[in-house]
Amino acid sequence: MQKKRHLLITGGAGFIGSHVVRLFVNKYPDYEIINLDKLTYAGNLANLKDIESRPNYRFEKCDICDFDAVCNIFRKYDIDGVIHLAAESHVDRSIKDPFTFAKTNVLGTLSMLQAAKTYWNNDWEGKLFYHISTDEVYGALEFDGSMFTEQTKYNPHSPYSASKASSDHFVRAFHDTYGMPTIVTNCSNNYGPYQFPEKLIPLFINNIRHHKPLPVYGKGENVRDWLFVEDHAKAIDTIFHNGKIAETYNIGGFNEWKNIDLIKVIIKTVDKLLGNPEGTSLDLITYVTDRSGHDLRYAIDATKLKNELGWEPSLQFEEGIEKTVQWYLDNQEWLDNITSGEYEKYYDEMYNQR
């Protein structure tokens, strides 16, 4: 029997957050799950339609940078656990507008930590501040087989990863200075349903659907390690309940793909599911100017998490990618609702600058 928790999940209307909220609402009917989200361009309550009327679910529209408003939410719900996902998450946007990333990711995280510290008032019994971070804080690997471990030194290159690195340092500082029970996890690239279609996989699925060019940055040789989002949510559940205080855990898919090879798999899968002859959409591939400071390769060594807490990815990539493509093809209204209007203008401007 799990102890009743009053759990604040930030960024729950975003991609990964919505999967975490859904998992916790379904799996822990006795917990009160409060989703705190500002609903930026990336936040979408349609991601949570299936659970929005559950008795153990609450939504609070709130900016994590608004310290007083966050304190009120801690008081209102007697919060004892935080899973902090709210962030600006897209590298290309961080290159255009680094201030917004510093504000949300650094100051917003500090505001969350300070609100938790104020409300918990040094009584740390049964409390946890769990911060969700990224493998990008470790910098870039060569094509030499090495991987990021929990001991790898931070070496961020983009304004996004610099802001996430800074937020990770603040979380650890709150443990070391005040004794706050914290955990940090650093995860690799996620894919799956409900991802905002500015990120590689949903963007390319959507562009193929509209016969639009597929902008491959540089030579398409960069490597990413892909994990199905529901596996990330399960890892977060495992770590929230069984992780050791003050520890860092890497989470990854043991699933590295060179971008251009991954893109060919996406094209093949979309063409197959749309009933097009194989290879139909290959000529949409368009090589464009590379992302500035584009990290060459990420690869996560998630052995510690497997050995200590027994988590490992459950879904094979071929199955995950087919499930993902099918989901976007079945949910075209969801895609159309967020890609029309403001976002379409923004995307066309970004594309024309490349």
Active site residues: 135-136, 160
User: Which 303-332 residues touch ligand NAD, going by CB under 6 A?
Assistant: none
DSSP letter at 49? T
Relative to beta strand 189-191, strand 214-217 is unpaired
The DSSP string of 52-66 is TT-TTEEEEE--TT-
Binding mask 65-104 for ligand DAU (x = CB under 6 A): ------------------------xxx-------------
For tokens 């799996």, name the residue: 27
Identify whether the C-beta of residue 28 lies closer than 8 Å to the C-beta of residue 244: no
Count of residues that interact with ligand DAU, criterion CB under 6 A: 19
Q: Is 137 in the site for ligand NAD (CB under 6 A)?
A: no
Is residue 34 close enough to count as binding ligand NAD by CB under 6 A?
A: no
Q: x/- string (CB under 6 A) for ligand DAU, residues 279-298?
A: ------------x------x
Contact string (CB under 6 A) for ligand NAD, positions 268-307, x = contact: ----------------------------------------
Residue (8 or 200) nearer to ligand DAU, CB:
200
Give whichever of 181 and 202 is closer to ligand DAU, judged by the CB atom: 202
- What distance in Å separates the CA atoms of residue 182 and residue 113, rounded to the nearest whole number? 10
38 binds ligand NAD (CB under 6 A): yes
Residue 321 · residue 191 · CB < 8 Å: yes
Residue 104 touches which of ligand NAD, ligand DAU, none (Cβ within 5-8 Å per kind): ligand NAD
Stretch in the footprint of ligand NAD (CB under 6 A) among 61-69, 201-209, 300-308, 321-329: 61-69
CA 268 to CA 13: how far, in whole Å?
30
Of residues 24, 124, 174, 217, which one binds ligand DAU by CB under 6 A? Answer: 217
Do 85 and 14 touch, CB atoms closer than 8 A?
Answer: yes
Q: Pick one of 7, 8, 25, 64: the residue that binds ligand NAD (CB under 6 A).
A: 64
Partnered with residue 81 across adjacent β-strands are: 7, 128
Residue 216 interacting with ligand DAU (CB under 6 A): yes
Q: Tokens in use for 53?
A: 């009327």
CA distance 192 to 20: 13
Which helix or strand (DSSP H or E) is residue 250 part of? strand 248-251
Q: At its nearest, how many Å lie between ligand NAD and the CB of residue 18?
A: 8
Backbone angles phi, psi at 190, to 5 degrees: -95, 150
Q: Which is nearer to ligand DAU, 89 or 269 (CB)?
A: 89
- DSSP symbols for 174-235: HHHHH---EEEEEE-EEESTT--TTSHHHHHHHHHHTT--EEEETTS--EEEEEEHHHHHHH
Cα four-point dihedral sign 239, 27, 330, 47: negative
* C-alpha R_g of the chain: 20
Choose among ligand NAD, ligand DAU, none what residue 81 binds, the Cβ cut-off being 5 to 8 Å by kind.
Answer: none
Q: Which of 35, 94, 161, 189 binds ligand NAD (CB under 6 A)?
A: 189
Q: Assess 203 for contact with ligand DAU (CB under 6 A).
A: yes
> Residue 298 binds which entry of ligand DAU, ligand NAD, none, with Cβ cut-offs from 5 to 8 Å by kind?
ligand DAU
Torsion of CA 87, 175, 121, 235, to 10 degrees: 50
Residues 252-271 touching ligand DAU, rule: CB under 6 A, are 259
Q: Which residues pair with 9 in a beta bridge?
A: 35, 83
Please give the residue ranges that form the binding site for ligand DAU (CB under 6 A).
89-91, 134-136, 188-189, 199-200, 203, 215-217, 222, 224, 259, 291, 298
Please give the residue ranges that form the binding site for ligand NAD (CB under 6 A).
10-11, 13-17, 37-40, 42-43, 63-65, 85-89, 104, 108, 132, 134, 164, 187, 189-190, 196
